[in-house]
Structures are given as C-alpha cells and as structure tokens.
Structure 1
Amino acid sequence: MAIDQHSNPQLEGVSIRSLPKVSLHDHLDGAVRPQTIIELADEIGLEVPATDAGALADWFEDQSDSGSLVEYLKTFDLTTAVMQTREGLRRVAQEFVEDLAADGVIYGEVRWAPEQHLAGGLSLEEAVEAVQEGIEAGEDAVDATDRDIRVGQLITAMRHTDRSLEIAKLAVAFRGAGASGFDIAGPEDGFPAANHREAFDYLASEFFPVTVHAGEAAGLDSIRSALIDGRALRLGHGVRIAEDLDVVSEEGEEVLVQFGDLARWVRDREIPLELSPSSNLQTGAIAKWGTQLEDHPFDLLYQLGFAVTVNVDNRTMSRTSLTRELKLLADAFDYTLDDLQAFQLNAAAAAFLSVEEREELIALIADGFPD
C-alpha cells in the first residue's frame, strides 16, 4: 500500500506527506541513507553487511526489530563508523535535512552525540561545525526548490560516559550558532539523569533548554529523575508514563483512569512526550501493553490530554518517516485530520524556539492544513 493510501476513510484524498510537520525526536546517526553508508564505508575500507542499498535497509530493519533497546543500539556502530570525518558528517547532515523536507517537515531538531564522532581526529567543536555546515547546505538546497525548512541541533551527551558537563558546555558555546538544546541518550536503564546532575545544574544556570531520554527502557523512576535532576522541558519518548495510570473501568467509549502523582504532573504541566510509535514497538518500550501498534498507549495518553507528539526516532533503523508514523497511527486509532494537526501543534509549541518563532510555526501549520 502506498504511504498516502488509507484504510481510514476519514483521510481519503488527504496527502499526509504534503502536510506541514514538526520533528522533535530524530537522531542523525539513525537517519543515514543506506546508499550513503555503502559509499562512505567504501571510502574508508569498512566492510558492510550488504552492498546493495535495499538489502542494507532490510538488514537494519531486521537487526532493530529485537524488542531490546540494548540490541537496537548496536546497529549504530555501523552508522557512526562512517561519520568520523568532516566530509562524512557534512554529507549525512545535508541529506538529513533534504530527507526531512521531502517528508513535509518544516521545522526539525536533530539530536546527535559529538563525543561519538572523534575517531577520525576531529575535535568536539569541529564535529559540531561540520554538522552545522551540512544543515545549512541542506536548508539552502531545500530553499532552492521553493520550500522552507529550519533545523536545529540538540547536542547530546551519552549517559553511560562521564563527559556530560563537557558536552553541556559545548552546547551552550554553540547557542546561536546551530545548537537549540541539550539531551542525554544511550542505555537508559541503570544510567539515570541523576548521574549527570552537574551538567544539568550548569545548563539550568545558563537557561539552556533540555530534553532527556526517559521512560523508554526504564520506567517511572527514570522519568522522575529526568524531571527533577535534569529539569527536562520535554521527555524523550516518555511512553512509560502510562505505567502511572490505572484504568479503573471501561464502559463503551467511557474510560475511567486514576492518575498517579507523576502522571498528573506531566499531564497538568503539559510536559511534551516525544513518542515514537514504531521505535517503541521495536525496542520493547510498550511491552507491558502488547506487541502491536494498536496496543501502544499513545491514544490513551492523547485522549487524557497529555501533550503527545509524533516522531520517528531513527528513520533508518525503523525504516520509517514522519508521514508513515502519522499514517500508522491514523489507521490504528481512526484519527481525523484535526487529530493529526493537533499532534503538529503540540510539537510546534514544544520546539526549542522563542515564543515569537513558535507562534510563527503554529501559524504555518494552521495555514498548511486544509479546513
């Protein structure tokens, strides 16, 4: 089935790809084109699992569909290996922006960890500069096609290493020069945000925005630490906040839910959830609720008023796009065009931009959705 053909009759005739979108949770090293991996690997003499782009895409999808975040993360060894030079980083970043625009994205934030791209001799600063060069080249290429896109960097520290304060200072140093915010990523279970309290204290003192991976491979304690220790303004994934909800009864379409204190705080404070449906299935983040998209607590969270956003996480590993994720959700939960617009408005409101820029983004989304 083509991506814009729908089993949901409410979206018949609607091209989801053409709708304006906002992407908040999108990893650079998780969005490398398979053909680019093959070509860059050939330049450095790196062996790859397949030398055909389609076959390599199949390999990523198969390897990622493990039900384990730890196993899922191993696929990044290949993508990061071809992103160790200025040229490699620049090319991947440019293509990333072009792929976002082809997906209908008008504003995106790309997260990546500079500390993982130093094996070729680059400094942290040089790596960030290379990615920014690629982003700007991609924005220019999109502009030449009479489309507009803006992309900011979320400078990311790895939660299982000890460089978070150094990376936090790097992010602040590039404020106004490409960096939009800060994140921590990597193996979540056993590596709480509390381990990086010094970095988060520094970021807070500099009024620099933070999102934290939490509520994916670990549960409520991880989310609590992200909010308290990390002062996170958004939760990367955050899907396991649903563990703090107790469905007391269901009668037809009426569902009575009892909130825990943490879930009520996240809902009432409108802390955005960077949900990634396909990825959440692949990594087992929603294993408590089931193994199919229809089991994802996305709809429960949405209906209860949480600030849900839709994201791809890793385009290459999940072999997906924002268009595809929205279509899958629409078909699973019978969402209308108004629902899809609500997800984009939530994302626009959560973007690490000034109030004026967020208002402009919201207006672009409103104008781009049919009445």
Structure 2
Amino acid sequence: MAKNDVTVQGRSVRDLPKVSLHDHLDGGVRPGTIIELADEFGIAAPASDAAGLRRWFADQCGSGSLVEYLKTFALTTAVMQSEGALTRIAREFVEDLAADGVVYGEMRWAPEQHLTAGLSPEQAVRAVQRGIEEGVDAADAAGRSIRVGQLISGMRHTDHTLEMAKLAVAMRGEGVVGFDIAGPEDGFPASAHRAAFDYLAEQFFPVTVHAGEAAGLDSIRSALLDGRALRLGHGVRLAEDLLIVDRNGDDVQVQLGPVARWVRDREIALELSPSSNLQTGAIEAWGTGLGDHPFDLLYQLGFSVTVNVDNRTMSDTSLTKELSQLAATFDYTLDDLEAFQFNAAAAAFLPVEEREELVEIIAEGFDR
C-alpha cells in the first residue's frame, strides 16, 4: 500500500474516486521538477535534492501565518515562466491527481504571475491546457480516467482582477471553467474587486472566492455579496458564526448566525483544506490539532463540506492523506467519505448533466 494510504472498512482510500476543487497549480509542483527547472533557469534553490526541498517547504509553511506560508510561492512561480515549464508542470500535476484517485479536478492558478519572461496571458493559459491534456492522455494510458478544468485566479492585492476575469471568460471554451481570487486575504476584501465580479456575473461565469481563512466573517460576507461566490475557498472561519448554546456529552446544540445559515441553507460549498488550515493558523481560535478543526461540526450541522489539499507541495499532502487523517480523527466511515465527494461533485463548475455523471462515477467507485 502506498505511503499515507489507509483502509476504511477494508477499502483503500487511495483507490476511492475523489473530486478535488481547491488545488493550486503553483502549490503542487513536484520538488524534483522545481530543482531541475531552477537549474535550467539559473535560479538558486534552497536545497539540492527533492527530499531536502520537501523539508524546506515543511519548515517554511509551518509558521502559523498565511503571509509567511505564501512566501514559498516565490520559488515555485519563478520556475513557471515559460510555455514549456507550464506545460510540464500542468502535465505532472494531472498525473499526480490521477495517481491519487482523483476523477475530476479543478486546477487554480494566476496567469498574471507567469508573464515575467514575455508570455501573454493567453499563451500561458494555452500552455497549461496543453499540459492538462497531456496529463489526461497519460492517465488514460495508465488505466485511470480523469477530467481537469482550469480556474483563473486574480490576485486580490493587485489591480489586474478585471483583466483576469475577462481572460477567464474569453478562454471558457479552451479549458477554463471558473474564476477565483487568491493571495493575502486580510485587508483585501472581495469588495475591492467588485468591477470584476460584476463583469463575471453579467457573463454568467461561476466564481469561488478565498474567504474565511486569514480573515473572518466580514471576508465571507464580502465574498457572498460582492463576489457572488458559489463556493468559499476554505471558509473555515464561518464557524465563528456558530454559537454553542448547550453541550451535553456528545450532544451539542448550536445556533447559526445569519451568514452561516445563508451558506448552509443554500448549500454553498466550503472548500476546506485541513492540513493547510492548521499550517496557516486559520483554526487557531479552536486549537492547533486536527481534532480541533471545526470540519466535523460543520459536517454534522449539514454544511456542504468538501475536502481539499490547497497546496500539495507546501503541505506535503494528497487527498488520500487528507481523507485518511480525517477518517482516523473523527471515525468517519466510507459513507462519510462518499458524502464529501458527492458534495464536491454537486459544487463542481460543470453543467448539471456532467455533475450527475460524476455522481454516478463516485457511487459506482464506492460500491465496487
């Protein structure tokens, strides 16, 4: 059995069909690839071998600060400035998803961060799409079926968001399925990018917004009202809008605030990323261990929770690892793990007919 894989009710978690909604391309570059490309581009890497670079990422990303966590992306984006590098990294990214049992994934990335060597945004998107298609073909040849769409991210601390929104809409027929804003959350609300979100709404283009990670309820409120978010990137601090009014052993009575009730009642998916949430301090109000994560409380209250990796390289993780750790921590069964995949399938930025097909693929895979 592969590293970090466990069995739940006799089933290998790695072999279960999975849906990945929150997965950053520049956060999932193979350490060995970073070293090779850094050498090619004349960039000084902080380690000379893949194992050493993994340790460096682990040390840098365990500070408990999203700002410090984000600094590691300077290295990965530095080696992603050519068409060849983007295509290779996207191909390997898809191959890694498929090897992890992912049957549908959304790969988010910010083209504006990959133009320093002269690429146009359109060239960058097409280079990534070539890599996706090569990765899908490689997975198919290996007997694994996978589909992957691009999410174009605007960086919330820059003024290029409207330009990136127009790029996403223009490329919707070339592999782009949705839009996101990313980067430092605190102090950069979705409301600052209202023009981009207005444009996306006019074009009926689906949006997810990073919110409720480094900032709290105001960030989530802005994502919903200004961003018209159909999903919340992380959204873990939505738990700040839950008031425990009575606790009797395992029985907990919770009162939902208006934001939490809106999110739950409209089944707005939460793109929760447990390991990342621990690293960035997103759950520090509740504790520092996985057992302190409000994931289970949100799940038991009926929120549309999904499980994600955020950044495979920075968190040294996979969907298999995230699900395995959750199952061990909260005594989840196969039915629970299947429910998380159904939630993700329902929230995928796909036409309803294709979401229904995805649900069937998941159900068949879990029944196998």
TM-score normalized with structure 2 length: 0.99
Stretches (4+) displaced over 3 A? none
Which runs of no fewer than 5 residues in structure 1 stay unpaired?
A: none
Q: Displacement, 1:13?
A: 2.2
* 1:91 maps to 2:92: no
Deviations 1:338-366 (A, max 9, x none): 00000000000000000000000000000
Q: Displacement, 1:146?
A: 2.0
Amino acid at match of 1:323: T
TM-score normalized with structure 1 length: 0.98
Amino acid at match of 1:297: P
What percentage of residue pairs aligned between the two structures are identical? 74
Amino acid at match of 1:5: V
* 1:74 maps to 2:71: yes
Q: 2:57 aligns with which of 57, 60, 85?
A: 60
Cross-structure match for 1:164? 161
Cross-structure match for 1:184? 181
Please tell me whether the aligned partners of residues 299 and 305 of structure 2 are also in contact (alpha carbons under 8 angstroms).
Answer: yes
Q: Displacement, 1:5?
A: 3.4
Please tell me whether the aligned partners of residues 246 and 253 of structure 2 are also in contact (alpha carbons under 8 angstroms).
Answer: yes
Which runs of no fewer than 5 residues in structure 2 stay unpaired?
A: none
Q: Displacement, 1:12?
A: 4.5
Aligned mates of 2:3, 2:272 — CA distance in 1: 24
Q: 2:357 aligns with which of 326, 349, 360?
A: 360
* 1:303 maps to 2:300: yes
State how 1:132-211 maps to structure 2 within 5 Å.
Answer: 132-211=129-208
Q: Aligned pair in 2 of structure 1 residues 31, 2: CA closer, same or farther (>3 Å)?
A: closer
Aligned mates of 1:289, 1:204 — CA distance in 2: 35
Q: Displacement, 1:4?
A: 2.7
Please tell me whether the aligned partners of residues 23 and 309 of structure 2 are also in contact (alpha carbons under 8 angstroms).
Answer: yes
Cross-structure match for 2:121? 124
Look up the SS of the partner of 2:11 in the other structure: coil
Look up the SS of the partner of 1:235 in the other structure: strand
Aligned mates of 1:122, 1:169 — CA distance in 2: 17
Deviations 1:151-200 (A, max 9, x none): 00000000000011000000000012110000000000000000000000
Cross-structure match for 2:44? 47
Cross-structure match for 1:3? 4
Amino acid at match of 2:261: R
Cross-structure match for 2:319? 322
Aligned mates of 2:52, 2:233 — CA distance in 1: 30
Aligned mates of 1:259, 1:138 — CA distance in 2: 43
Aligned mates of 1:2, 1:367 — CA distance in 2: 25
Look up the SS of the partner of 1:318 in the other structure: coil
Q: Displacement, 1:267?
A: 0.6
Cross-structure match for 1:277? 274
State how 1:337-352 maps to structure 2 within 5 Å.
Answer: 337-352=334-349
Please tell me whether the aligned partners of residues 5 and 12 of structure 1 are also in contact (alpha carbons under 8 angstroms).
Answer: no
Cross-structure match for 2:243? 246
Deviations 1:179-235 (A, max 9, x none): 000000000000000000000000000000000000000000000000000000000
Q: Displacement, 1:116?
A: 0.1
Deviations 1:313-334 (A, max 9, x none): 0000000000000001000100
Q: 1:214 aligns with which of 195, 211, 215?
A: 211
